[in-house]
C-alpha cells in the first residue's frame, strides 16, 4: 500500500482481526448500556420503599415510574439527528454526564414531585446515550460480526437492570432506597472521564463528513498499522442510500418508511412488556403473597435473561434477522402469559420468569442491531435513536397499562395475559418489515482481500 491508495474503511475493518482498540470501544459502550439498564430499572425496585416512606398509593406512582421514560423518548428523538450532524462522541459523552448528575440528584429528592422531575432529566441523558453507543459500536464492527457484537453489548441493558434488582435487595435494607440512586449517579460520572480520554469519533462518520485524512488514519491505525500508509479513505454502504437525503429525511423516505414504522411498532410493543414487568412485578408479586425481598429477587430474574441475545446475534449474522427476532417475540408472548398461570408455585414461577426474560430480552436486545444494519451511515444515528425513542413510549404505555388494569381489579393472571398480546403484535410487525424490503435482511457478505482494493 502507498500514499496514493484509497482505502475503503469498511473493507479495512472487515479484513483485520477485532483489535484491542475495538474491544476498548466495546467495553466503554457496554458499560454505558449497562448503566442505562441500571438507572432505568432502579425506580421499579425502589417503588415499594417509596410507597411506604411517602405514604402514596400505587396509581400515584405511575408518573414517577414513567418520568424517565418520557425523558428517554425526548433524549433519543433529539439526539439522533444531532448525532448525524455533530458526531457520535460529543453527544455520547455529554449524555453520560447528564444522566449521572441527574440520577445522583434524584437520591436527595424530598417528595414525589421533585423525584419525578429529576427522573425526567435522567431519562433525557439515558435516551441520548444508548442509541449513540449502539451506533458508535456498529460503525467499528466488521460486517460479518456486527449483530453478534452489538447484541453482546446490548446485553448490558438487561444485565444492568438485573444487577439493579440484586443490589437493591441488599442496599435498601441496609442503607435505604437513596443508596441505589447514589450508586446509579456516581458510576456514570467516573465513566465520563474515561470517555473523554479514550473514546474516538466514529471512522465511518468522519469519512461521511469529509474529516481530515490524518484524523481518520490515526484512528484506523489503532486497529492495524496498515492504515498508516493510506492516502485517502472511501466508504461503501450495504443499505441503499437515498439521493440528497440524510438523517430524518432518509429515515422517513419512501424507500425506508414501512420498515421504519415497523421497527418503531416492534420496539414499542417490546417495551410495553419489559416495563410493565420490571416496574410492576415486585409490587404484583408482593400482593400475590410473596415477601418483599423474594418478590424483588424473582423480578430481577426477568431482565437477567437478556444474555440470550448473544446466541440470537450469531443467528442474525447467518440467517434472516427479521424472522429470527419475530420467532423470539412469538415465544415471548407465550411465556409472559405463563407467568400469570404460575403464581401459585414459587419454583415454577422462578423458572417461568427466567425463561420469559430470556426470550423477551433476547428479542428486544436484538432490535438495535437490526436497525443499525437497516440504515446507511447518513441516517443510522437518526434511525437507531428514533426507533429507541418512539419505542420508549411503549415503556410509558406499559407502566400506565398495569396501573389501569390494577385500578380495574384485573387479577395477576389477567394482567399478564393482556401484556402478552404485545409480543404477538411485535412478531407480526417484523414479518411486515421483512415483506417490504426482503433484500435488507440478508446476512452481510464476508468481505475479504487486501484493504483498499
Q: What is the pLDDT of residue 73?
A: 84
Exposure class string for 210-233: b at 16+ Cβ within 10 A, else e: ebebeebbebbeebbebbeebeeb
Yes or no: is domain 6-438 CATH 1.20.1250.20? Answer: yes
What global pTM score does this model have? 0.74
What residue ranges of the chain have pLDDT lower than 70? 1-4, 237-247, 289, 303-307, 438-453
Q: What is the pLDDT of residue 383?
A: 87
Q: What is the pLDDT of residue 238?
A: 61
The span from the CA of 372 to the CA of 263, in Å, is 11
The span from the CA of 311 to the CA of 226, in Å, is 32
* Consecutive H or E run containing 10: helix 9-15
Q: What is the pLDDT of residue 445?
A: 45
HSE toward the beta carbon, residue 231, CA cutoff 13 A: 6
The span from the CA of 150 to the CA of 137, in Å, is 7
User: In the 8-state DSSP scheme, what is residue 145?
Assistant: G
Q: What is the pLDDT of residue 11?
A: 85
Q: What is the pLDDT of residue 143?
A: 80
Amino acid at each position: 500500500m502507498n500514499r496514493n491508495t484509497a482505502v475503503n474503511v469498511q473493507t479495512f475493518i472487515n479484513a483485520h482481526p477485532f483489535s484491542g482498540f475495538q474491544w476498548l470501544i466495546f467495553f466503554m459502550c457496554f458499560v454505558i448500556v449497562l448503566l442505562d439498564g441500571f438507572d432505568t430499572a432502579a425506580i421499579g425496585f425502589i417503588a415499594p420503599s417509596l410507597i411506604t416512606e411517602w405514604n402514596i398509593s400505587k396509581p400515584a406512582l405511575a408518573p414517577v415510574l414513567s418520568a424517565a421514560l418520557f425523558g428517554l423518548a425526548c433524549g433519543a428523538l433529539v439526539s439522533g439527528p444531532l448525532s448525524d450532524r455533530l458526531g457520535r462522541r460529543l453527544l455520547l459523552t455529554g449524555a453520560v454526564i447528564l444522566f449521572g448528575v441527574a440520577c445522583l440528584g434524584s437520591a436527595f429528592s424530598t417528595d414525589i414531585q421533585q423525584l419525578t422531575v429529576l427522573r425526567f432529566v435522567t431519562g433525557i441523558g439515558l435516551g441520548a446515550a444508548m442509541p449513540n453507543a449502539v451506533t458508535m459500536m456498529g460503525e467499528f464492527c466488521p460486517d460479518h460480526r456486527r449483530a453478534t457484537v452489538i447484541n453482546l453489548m446490548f446485553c448490558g441493558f438487561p444485565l444492568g437492570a438485573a444487577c439493579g434488582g440484586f443490589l437493591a435487595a441488599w442496599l435498601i435494607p441496609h442503607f435505604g432506597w437513596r443508596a441505589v440512586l447514589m450508586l446509579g449517579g456516581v458510576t456514570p460520572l467516573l465513566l465520563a472521564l474515561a470517555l473523554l480520554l479514550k473514546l474516538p469519533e466514529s471512522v465511518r462518520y468522519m469519512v461521511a463528513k469529509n474529516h481530515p485524512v490524518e484524523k481518520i488514519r490515526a484512528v484506523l491505525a489503532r486497529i492495524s498499522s496498515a492504515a498508516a500508509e493510506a492516502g485517502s479513505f472511501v466508504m461503501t454502504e450495504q443499505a441503499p442510500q437515498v439521493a440528497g437525503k440524510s438523517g430524518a429525511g432518509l429515515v422517513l423516505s419512501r424507500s425506508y418508511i414501512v420498515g421504519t414504522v415497523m421497527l418503531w411498532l416492534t420496539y414499542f410493543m417490546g417495551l410495553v412488556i419489559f416495563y410493565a414487568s420490571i416496574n410492576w412485578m415486585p409490587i404484583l408479586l408482593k400482593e400475590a403473597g410473596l415477601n418483599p425481598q423474594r418478590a424483588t429477587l424473582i423480578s430481577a430474574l426477568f431482565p437477567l435473561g437478556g444474555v440470550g441475545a448473544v446466541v440470537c446475534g450469531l443467528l442474525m449474522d447467518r440467517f434472516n434477522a427479521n424472522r429470527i427476532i419475530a420467532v423470539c417475540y412469538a415465544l415471548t408472548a407465550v411465556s409472559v402469559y405463563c407467568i400469570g398461570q404460575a403464581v401459585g408455585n414459587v419454583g415454577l414461577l422462578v423458572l417461568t420468569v427466567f425463561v420469559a426474560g430470556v426470550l423477551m430480552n433476547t428479542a428486544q436486545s436484538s432490535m438495535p442491531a437490526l436497525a443499525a444494519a437497516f440504515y446507511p451511515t447518513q441516517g443510522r444515528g437518526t434511525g437507531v435513536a428514533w426507533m429507541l425513542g418512539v419505542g420508549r413510549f411503549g415503556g410509558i404505555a406499559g407502566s400506565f397499562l398495569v396501573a389501569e388494569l390494577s385500578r380495574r381489579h384485573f387479577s395477576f393472571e389477567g394482567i399478564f395475559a393482556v401484556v402478552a398480546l404485545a409480543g404477538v403484535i411485535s412478531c407480526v410487525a417484523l414479518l411486515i418489515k421483512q415483506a417490504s424490503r426482503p433484500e435488507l435482511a440478508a446476512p452481510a457478505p464476508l468481505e475479504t482481500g487486501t484493504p483498499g482494493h
